[in-house]
Chain A
Amino acid sequence: MIVNGIERPEASDPRRLLSDYLRHDLGLTGTHVGCEHGVCGCCTILFDGRPVRSCLLLAVQARGHELATVEGLAQPEAPMHPVQQAFKECHGLQCGFCTPGFLMATVAFLREFPDPSDAEIADAIAGNLCRCTGYANIRRSVRRAAELSRQA
C-alpha cells in the first residue's frame, strides 16, 4: 500500500486495525482514535482520495490502495496546506484531537465543492465530532479554506 506517497509494507497481524497500523506500526500518530466504532471521525483518512474511518478497516484491507493522512498534507518544512492554514486563522481547534479528522474530511469535501454554501459546509463536517470548539469556528475555517484553496 502507499501512504502519503510512500510504499509501505503490509501489516503482519490480520486483525490489526488500519488506525493502529498507521499510528503504531508506521508512527503516523496524527491520525487519532476517539471511539473505535466509527462515530467520532477522529480517525478519518483519505482512502484512494475518499474520506474513510480508519478504525473501521483492517490494515490488510488497505493492500494495494493509496492512503493519505494528515502528515501528508504538507511537508514538514513547507508552508501549511490551505486547509491547515484556515483552521489556524479561524481558531478552528482547541485541544486539537478531532482536528486531523476535520482536516481530511475538509480536504476531500473542497475537492468536490470548491465553493460551498453554509449548509453544505455544515453537512460535510457533520460526520466529525468536536467536543471543544462548538463548531462555529470549524465552519468558519472550512469557509476560509475554500477561499484560500481557490486563491492557491
Chain B
Amino acid sequence: MTTRLFGERVQRLEDERLLRGQGRYTDDLGNGALECAFVRSPFAHARIHSINATAARALPGVVAVYTAADVPFGDLDLPLLIPHPQLTHPRTQKCLASSIVRYAGEAVAFVVAESRYLAEDAADLVEVEYEPLPAVVTPERSAKAENLVHADVPANSAADVTQAVGDVDSALARASHRLRRRLRLERSAAQPLEARAVWARWDAVEGRLTVYDSTQSPTSIRGGLAVLFGLPETSVEVIAPDVGGGFGPKIMLFNPDELLVPYAAMKLGRPVKWTEDRREHFTAVTHERAQVHEVDFGFDDGGKLLALDVDFIHDAGAYTPYGLILPIITAAQLPGPYRVPNYRVRFRDLYTNCTPTSPYRGAGRPHGCFVIERVMDAIAAELGLDRAEVRRRNLLQPGDFPYSVGTMWQDGGMAVYDSGDYPELLRLALERLGPKPEGDNIGLGLAMYVEGTGVGPYEGAHVQVLVSGKVVASTGIPTQGQGHATVFAQVVADELGVSVEDVTVTSGDTRRFPWGVGTFASRGAVMSGNAMANAARAVAEKAKRVAAEHLEADAADLELAGGEVRVKGSPGRSLPLAVVSILSNPLRYAFGGGDEIATQFQPRPRPGPPLAEGEEPGLEATGYYSPSPGSTWAGGCHAAYLRVDPKTYRLEFLKYVVAHDCGRVINPMILEGQIQGGVAQGIAGSFYERLLYDEEGQLRNASFMEFLMPYATEIPDVEMVHLETPSPLNPLGIKGAGEAGTIPVAAMLASAIEDALGVRIDEMPLNPNRLFELTR
C-alpha cells in the first residue's frame, strides 16, 4: 500500500475555493429570487388580538404576506424532534403565532417581496395588536411558577426526571465531610458568523422542490418537507452548500423559514430566498447553557468523593423542540472521568419566556463538567490538598473500561465509557504546563472532562471510481468548516490506494446521498468516517474481483496502490483503477478511452454473462456505519496559568495546555484547529459573552456591539498533547472531537481565577465587573 494518509497533516482540499472568494453559501446563490422578511413579536409574552396586513400587501413590490391564517400548516405544531417518555409536557411553537407569543422574536407574519429592502418596509406596515402578559424570565423564577409560560403546563415544568446510582442518602450521612454548592450558568449563544438562510425553487413541470438551507442536517429537513407538502421524498432535494459555522443551532429544528420559504416558492411559482440578519438571529435562533445546580456532596479524609447529589433546573426557553437532550446529557456525564459510587441527579426542564434552547457546542457537557470540577476543587480546598492529587485519587483507571456510569445516555441506552486513560491525560497536561511562573495574581487552572461522541443511529456514504480513475465520494452530513472534504478523502484514498487529490467529497447534498442524520454531537468523523471506510472497502473488494479476471490472478493476491490494482509482489502485473472502472461496466465509452479492453469482441477469461451473477455494474459501493448502542468517549485535561490584572480584572493567559484523547486521529492539523476553536468559544462564553435579558424578557444586547465576542487579541495559542487510545467500538478506532475544546473551559477558568484571586467561583460567565464585585 502507498503511504497511509490516515494520521497525516494533509492540507485542506476545500480551502482554495474558499480563499478565492468562490465559496457557495446559501445567500450567495439564487440571485433574482424573491426575498423575505419576518414580522416578529416584540413582546416576550403576549396575546395577539389582531393582525392586519392590508397596508403591507398594498405596498408596491410586495408579492405576498403570510400569517398563520394564510398557510395550510398554520395550525400545526412544529415537530417535537426527540420525544421522550419522561418529557411529560412537551410544547413546540407554531410556524407563525396567531393567538399567543411566548418569546420576543417569535415569528408572527412573513413577507415576500421583490427585494429584501421592500420586504422589510412591508414588515413594518403589518399591524399586530398585542396584549402583553407577564413574562417569566429566569429558570429560578420559572421554578416559583408565579406565572405560567403555557397555561396548561403546571409548575412550568416540561419534565422532572430523577436517576440514582447506589445509595446517596446513607453515603452522604456517613461521609466524614459534606459540602453544598449552588452553581449557576447563564444563557449563551453560538453565533456562527453566517446567520441562517434558506433558498427554495419549485419545478412545476417535474414536480420537484429544491431547497438550499444553511442547516446541519439536510436529510432530516428533506424528510420533513416531503411529509409536510405530501411529496415523495424523491421529489424533494435539500442541499446544505457551504455553511458558515454551525455549532448546534443549525440542527434540523424546522425553523419557520424552513417551511415558509419552500411553501412560498411552490405557491408563487418563483424562487424565494430568505437570509436572516444578525439581530433576528439573536432572538429567533436557539440559545443554550442556562442551568442552576444545587449540589450536595460527601467525601472522606483522603479526598475521595463518596456521594454526589445534584438537583438542577434547565432553562428550556419557551418551547422544547429538541426534547430533553440538554439536561439528559448533563445528568448522564456529570460524574466525568471520576468514579462516583453514589450519585443521584434530578432535573427539571422549565419553560421561560425566552428563546428556546437546543444544543450549542458542548450541549449540556460544559455544565456537568463545571459541577464535577468545582466539586473536586472544593474537596481540595476543604482538605488542604493539591487539586491534581484530589483528581488523581478519584479518576477511573485504564483497567476500568468499559465503565457504566449508571445513567441514561442521549442515544436511549446507558452511558458506558468505552476506553481511555485519564490519569495519563492529567499527567501529560501537567508535564507540558510546567512550573508556575513567578508573579502575583497568577492562578493555575485545571479541569478534566469526558465527552460522549459519535452517537448513532447511523450515517452512510457512497464511493465511486470514475472511468477517469478519479474518485467521487458523498455522505449525507454537511460540513460547517470541519474539513469533511479532506478527512473523508484521506480515509477513502487509503482504502483505494489513490492520492488524496484524486478524491472529491460531496457532503450534505441529498441529491448525492439521500440518507443520514446530521453534523452535530461530535459525530461526523466517527459516523461518516467509518461509513466512508466501509464503502471504500467494498469498492476495493469489487475492484479486485473485476481485475482478477483480467489479470488471471486470485482476488486475494491483489492489492490497490498507486492508482492501480496489482498482483502483490509482481509489479508488472497491474491494471489502472481507471481501466477497472471501465471493465466494471460492460459497455463502450466513446470518450473515456479504454473501450478496446471492454468491448464484447475482446476475449474474456471468464465464461458466462458479462456482468457476473450478483455483481452490479459500476465501480461503486454504498456503505453504512451504525454503532450498537453506545458512544465513543473522548477525554482530556485543560490546564493553564492565568494572570488576572488586579486593577482592570482583565485576563492574561500565560500558558494554555490541552491534553486530549479522541482515539485515532485522521488529520492532526484539522483536529488541532477544532480544539483551538473550541477553546476560543469556551473562553468567549466564560468571560466575554452573556445574553442579557431584562425583567420583561427583552434581550438587551442583541448585537455584536453589545454581545462581546473575543477577537485575536483575547484568545491565546493553545498547546496540545495528543494521546491516542483507539476506540474498540468502530473499525477506524476514532472518537469525536468537535466539542472537546469547549467543554472544560468554564470549569478550568473558575479553577484558575479562584486560585489567582482567592475568591470562590460558583457561576459562569464572569467578566471584569463581576470579578470586581466578587473581590469586594
Listed in ascending order, the chain A residues whose CB lies under 8 Å from chain B are: 13, 15-16, 20, 23-24, 27-37, 39-40, 42, 69-71, 73-74, 76, 80, 84, 87-89, 91, 93-100, 103, 121-123, 125-139
Interface contacts beyond A37-B704, A40-B193, A136-B715: sample of 9 additional A-B pairs, CB < 8 Å, sorted by A = A36-B277, A80-B16, A88-B11, A88-B12, A97-B244, A131-B677, A131-B681, A136-B718, A137-B676
Contact B18 A134 (CB under 8 A): no
Interface residue B679 (Cβ < 8 Å from any Cβ of A):
yes
B646 within 8 A of A: no
Q: Which residue of chain B has the shortest Cβ distance to A133 in the bound complex? A: B677
A130 to B27, CA, bound (A): 19
Provide the bound-state CA to CA distance between A36 and B22, in Å.
21
Determine how close the nearest CB of chain A comes to the CB of B246; give it in whole angstroms: 8
Given A126-B711, A133-B676, A136-B715: A97 and B20 interface contact (C-beta under 8 Å): no
The 0/1 profile, CB within 8 Å of A marked 1, for residues 220-249 of chain B is 000000000000000000000011110100
Instruction: Please report B residues at the A interface, Cβ cutoff 8 Å.
Output: 11-12, 14-16, 18-23, 25, 27-28, 31, 116-117, 190-195, 242-245, 247, 277-278, 480-483, 669-670, 672-674, 676-681, 703-705, 709, 711-713, 715-718, 741
Is there an interface contact between A126 and B712, defined as CB atoms closer than 8 Å?
yes
Question: B193, B244, B480, B713: which contacts A122 (Cβ < 8 A)?
Answer: B713
Inter-subunit contact A28/B717 (CB<8 Å): no
- Closest-by-CB residue of A relative to B35 is A24
Q: State whether B11 touches A89 (Cβ < 8 A).
A: yes
Contact indicator A95/B676 (Cβ below 8 Å): no
B482 touches A94 (CB 8 A): yes
The 10 closest A-B pairs by CB, nearest first: A30-B21, A97-B244, A95-B481, A134-B680, A94-B481, A96-B18, A29-B28, A39-B704, A70-B21, A134-B676
Can you give 11 A-B contacts (C-beta < 8 A)? A35-B703, A69-B21, A94-B677, A95-B245, A95-B481, A131-B190, A131-B192, A131-B247, A131-B709, A133-B673, A134-B676
Name the residue on B nearest A71 (C-beta). Answer: B21
Q: A131-B681, A132-B481 are in contact. Are A126 and B19 (CB under 8 A)?
A: no
Chain A residue nearest to B19 (CB atoms) is A84
The docked-state distance in angstroms from the alpha carbon of A126 to that of B713 is 6
Chain A CB within 10 Å, residue with most, of B19, B192, B678, B703: B19
Residues of B within 8 A of A37 (CB): 278, 703-705
Cβ-defined contact, A130 with B193, below 8 A: yes
Chain A residues lying within 8 Å of B711, measured Cβ to Cβ, are: 125-129, 135
Given the complex, which residues of A lie within 8 Å of B673, measured CB to CB? 91, 94, 132-134, 137
| A132 contacts B677, C-beta separation under 8 Å | yes
**A96 touches which of B244, B247, B672, B716 (Cβ 8 Å):** B244
CA distance A37 to B480 in the complex (A): 23
Contact between B20 and A129, CB atoms less than 8 A apart: no
Q: Which of chain B's residues has its CB closest to A15's CB?
A: B117
A134: contacting residue among B483, B677, B703, B705, CB under 8 A: B677
Give chain B nearest CB distance to A103 CB in angstroms. Answer: 7
Q: Which of A39, A76, A88, A98 is in CB contact (< 8 Å) with B15?
A: A88
> Dominant SS at the B interface?
loop
Given contacts A35-B704, A122-B713, contact A134 B19 (CB under 8 A): no
Residues from chain A with Cβ under 8 Å of B669 in the complex:
91
B193 touches A34 (CB 8 A): yes
Set of chain B residues within 8 Å of A32, measured between Cβ atoms: 25, 193-194, 244
Contact yes or no, A96 B11, CB < 8 A: no
- Which of A20, A94, A97 has the largest count of B CB atoms less than 10 A from its CB? A94
Q: Which residues of B contact A94 (CB under 8 A)?
A: 245, 481-483, 673-674, 677
A65 vs chain B, min Cβ distance (A):
20
* Minimal beta-carbon separation of B55 from chain A (angstroms): 20
How many angstroms from the CA of A15 to the CA of B117 in the assembled complex? Answer: 9
Q: Which residues of B contact A36 (CB under 8 A)?
A: 277-278
Query: CA A93 – CA B681 in complex, angstroms?
Result: 15
Complex: A123 Cα to B243 Cα, angstroms: 28
Provide the bound-state CA to CA distance between A137 and B715, in Å: 11
Q: How far is the CB of A71 from chain B (nearest CB, A)?
A: 4
Q: Is B20's CB under 8 angstroms from A91's CB?
A: no
The answer to whether B194 and A95 touch across the interface, beta carbons within 8 angstroms, is: yes
Instruction: Report if A97-B25 is in contact (Cβ < 8 Å); known contacts: A15-B117, A80-B20, A131-B709.
Output: yes
- Identify which of B25, B193, B709, B741 gathers the most chain A CB atoms within 10 Å of its CB: B193
Residues of B within 8 A of A76 (CB): 20
Task: Using CB atoms, name the residue of chain B closest to A101.
Answer: B193
Q: Which residues of A contact B278 (CB under 8 A)?
A: 34-37
Q: How far is the CA of A103 from the CA of B16 in the complex (A)?
A: 13
Q: How far is the CB of A122 from chain B (nearest CB, A)?
A: 5
Partner of B712, one of A28, A35, A69, A125: A125
The CB with the most chain B CB atoms within 10 A, among A33, A84, A93, A96, is that of: A96
Q: Which residue of A lies closest to B673 (CB)?
A: A91
In the bound complex, residues from chain A placing their C-beta under 8 Å from that of B245 are 94-95, 97, 131-132
Q: How far is the CB of B361 from chain A (nearest CB, A)?
A: 10
Task: Give Cα A97–Cα B483 distance, bound, in whole angstroms.
Answer: 14
Asked if residues B193 and A123 are in contact (CB atoms below 8 Å), the reply is no
Q: Is the CB of A88 within 8 A of B712?
A: no
Enumerate chain A residues within 8 angstroms of B15, measured Cβ to Cβ.
Answer: 87-88, 93, 96
CB distance from A82 to the nearest CB of B (A): 11
Are the C-beta atoms of B713 and A80 separated by less than 8 Å? no
CB-defined contacts of B741 to chain A, threshold 8 Å: 134
- Contact status B21-A95, CB under 8 Å: no
> Is A87 a contact of B31 with CB atoms below 8 Å?
no
B242 — which chain A residues lie within 8 A by C-beta? 95-97
Q: Which residues of B contact A84 (CB under 8 A)?
A: 16, 19-20
CB A93 to nearest CB in B, in angstroms, measures 6
Let me know if B713 and A97 touch, CB within 8 A.
no
Tell me whether B717 and A42 are in contact (CB under 8 A).
Answer: no
In Å, the complex CA distance between A40 and B670 comes to 24
- CB distance A74 to B192 under 8 Å? no
Given A31-B21, A136-B717, check contact A97 B193 (CB 8 Å).
Answer: yes
Looking at the assembled complex, report how far the CB atom of B714 sits from the nearest CB atom of chain A, in whole angstroms: 8
Nearest-CB distance from B50 to chain A (Å)?
31
A30 close to B677 (CB less than 8 A): no
Chain B residues with CB under 8 Å of A130's CB are 193, 712
By the criterion CB–CB under 8 Å, are A131 and B193 in contact? Answer: yes
Identify A135's interface contact among B23, B192, B712, CB under 8 A. Answer: B712
The reply to whether A28 and B709 form a contact with Cβ atoms under 8 Å apart is: no
Residues of B near A132 (CB, < 8 A) are: 193, 245, 481, 673, 677
Tell me the bound Cα distance from A95 to B471 in angstroms: 24
Is A129's CB under 8 angstroms from B193's CB? yes
**Contact at B21–A93, with CB atoms within 8 Å?**
no
| B12/A103 in contact, CB under 8 A | no
Instruction: State the Cβ distance, B64 to closest chain A Cβ, in Å.
Output: 21
B-side contacts of A134, CB under 8 Å: 673, 676-681, 715, 718, 741
Given contacts A94-B481, A125-B711, contact A136 B31 (CB under 8 A): no
- Which A residues touch B680, using CB under 8 A? 133-135
* Residues A129 and B713 in contact in the complex (CB < 8 Å), given A37-B704, A93-B15: no
Asked if A30 and B244 sit within 8 Å, CB to CB, the answer is no
A128 to B711, CA, bound (A): 7
Q: Complex formed: what's the CA distance from A87 to B19 in Å?
A: 8
Q: How far, in angstroms, from A128 to B15 measured CA to CA in the complex?
A: 19
Contact in complex: B480, A95 (CB < 8 Å): yes
Q: Which residues of B lie under 8 Å from residue A131 when comparing CB positions?
A: 190-193, 245, 247, 677, 681, 709
Report the bound CA distance from A69 to B22 in whole Å: 12
Q: Is the CB of A42 within 8 A of B483?
A: no
Cβ contact within 8 Å between B19 and A99: yes
**Which of A35, A70, A121, A128: most chain B Cβ within 10 A?**
A35
Nearest CB on B from A108, distance (A): 16
Docked complex Cα distance between A29 and B23 (Å): 8
| Chain A minimum-CB-distance residue to B682 | A134
Q: Are A138 and B712 in contact (CB under 8 A)?
A: yes
A43, chain B: closest CB distance, angstroms = 11
Residues of A within 8 A of B19 (CB): 70, 80, 84, 87-88, 93, 96, 99, 103
* Assembled-state Cα–Cα distance A139/B712 (Å): 8
In the bound complex, residues from chain B placing their C-beta under 8 Å from that of A88 are 11-12, 15-16, 19
